Amino acid sequence: MDAFRAGSERPDGCSYTGIVGRAPLGRLLEIALVRMRGESEILSGDPDFYQAVARPNRARAHAMTEYYAGRGPRTGRHLP
């Protein structure tokens, strides 16, 4: 599940991921609601919250772009 402020770009959002198996859509929405209520800044659209989320997302996107353009080191986790 992804949550973004209205009119924002993709890196400016939150993402909740996990393995849910064969859960029905209603149950997935319940899980999302509980998670978002735990972080009220998501639902209120708090710009400071979303800017804090965006910083590492933008940095990772930039690092990946640099790597794939041949201008930077490999990013992320590596297998031994």
**Structural domain spans, the chain:** 2-68
For residue 79, the model assigns a pLDDT of 52
**What distance in Å separates the CA atoms of residue 41 and residue 69, rounded to the nearest whole number?**
36
Mean of the per-residue pLDDT values for the chain?
78
Residue predicted with more confidence, 52 or 18: 52
- Rounded to an integer, the average pLDDT of 26-52 is 84
When mean pLDDT is compared across 18-22, 64-68, 73-77, the lowest value belongs to 18-22
pTM of the model: 0.56
Contacts 24+ apart (CB under 8 A), 31-35: 32/1, 35/1
For residue 51, the model assigns a pLDDT of 84
